[in-house]
Amino acid sequence: MEVREYIIEEADKLFCQYGFKSVTMDDIAKHLGMSKKTIYQNFSDKDELVTILIKEKLAAQNCLMENAYANAEDAIEEIYLMIGNIHEVLNNINPKLFYDLQKYHTQAWLFFKEFRDKAIYETINNNLKRGIREGLYRADINIDILTQLRLDQSDLIFHHHDQYTMNKYNIAQVMVELTEHFLYGVCSLTGLGHIYANKMKLQTQHTSTEINN
């Protein structure tokens, strides 16, 4: 692994645990066991490091969404595949990460906001259309309104996490609960059975992962 990628990977672990604001370049250097000079040879400052990190994360997330669409047998499985892909990430993420990003790293936040407003919006919108075509979602749902609602649900988790986690649940648990609530609202009678089947599959995967770890 190249030094630049190693710095990004290890810095990401610190950011996810403590948030962007709390982690300094000194902290990153100490964690890496290298001098700050080496870090500054690869990144002009922390803001550039955060911006590059976010761009790479968004690119990876886009690949996950595309793979979920391509590999899922239907619209409901597509959603559960995406939940499974991000479950581990959300389990280990500090909820204030997005607040720090918006307040202290403007360029990185703009990249994230554009990704949210375009790529994620399109993914949700296409999934709703797919579900209707497959007979798994109700034909009478308003796709535009529900696409925006789904986006807003995700925003609530990160911007008002204290109200939802209450120090009892992690973000991944809240995300799964809201996703299932959303699905039960849009599914047809046929689709309801698919929710249960995919939920059991997801639980089996998580149990297997915990045992292997």
Predicted pLDDT at 130: 98
Print the domain residue range for 133. Answer: 59-212
Please count the structural domains in the chain: 1
Predicted pLDDT at 104: 94
Per-residue model confidence as pLDDT tens digits over 165-184: 556 777 778 888 889 999 99
Q: Are 141 and 186 contacting, i.e. CB atoms less than 8 angstroms apart?
A: yes
Q: Are 141 and 60 contacting, i.e. CB atoms less than 8 angstroms apart?
A: no
CATH code: domain of residue 123:
1.10.357.10
- If one compares 61 and 202, the residue with the highest pLDDT of the two is 61
Query: pLDDT class for 195, splitting at 50, 70, 90?
Result: confident
Whether residue 5 has pLDDT greater than 90 = yes
Predicted pLDDT at 89: 64
Find the distance separating the first CA and the last CA of the chain, reported in whole Å. 24
State mean pLDDT over 32-59. 95
Residue 16 in any domain: the answer is no
* The pTM of the whole model exceeds 0.75: yes
Predicted pLDDT at 107: 95
Q: Is 200 helix (H, G, I), strand (E, B) or coil?
A: helix
Predicted pLDDT at 88: 63
Predicted pLDDT at 43: 96
Q: What is the DSSP letter of 1?
A: -
Residue 36 in any domain: the answer is no
Predicted pLDDT at 175: 84
Query: pLDDT class for 65, splitting at 50, 70, 90?
Result: very high
Closest CA to 15 of 46, 60, 55: 46
State mean pLDDT over 135-156. 94
Residues 6+ apart with CB under 8 A from 43: 7, 49, 52
Residue 112 in any domain: the answer is yes
Predicted pLDDT at 92: 66
- If one compares 12 and 85, the residue with the highest pLDDT of the two is 12
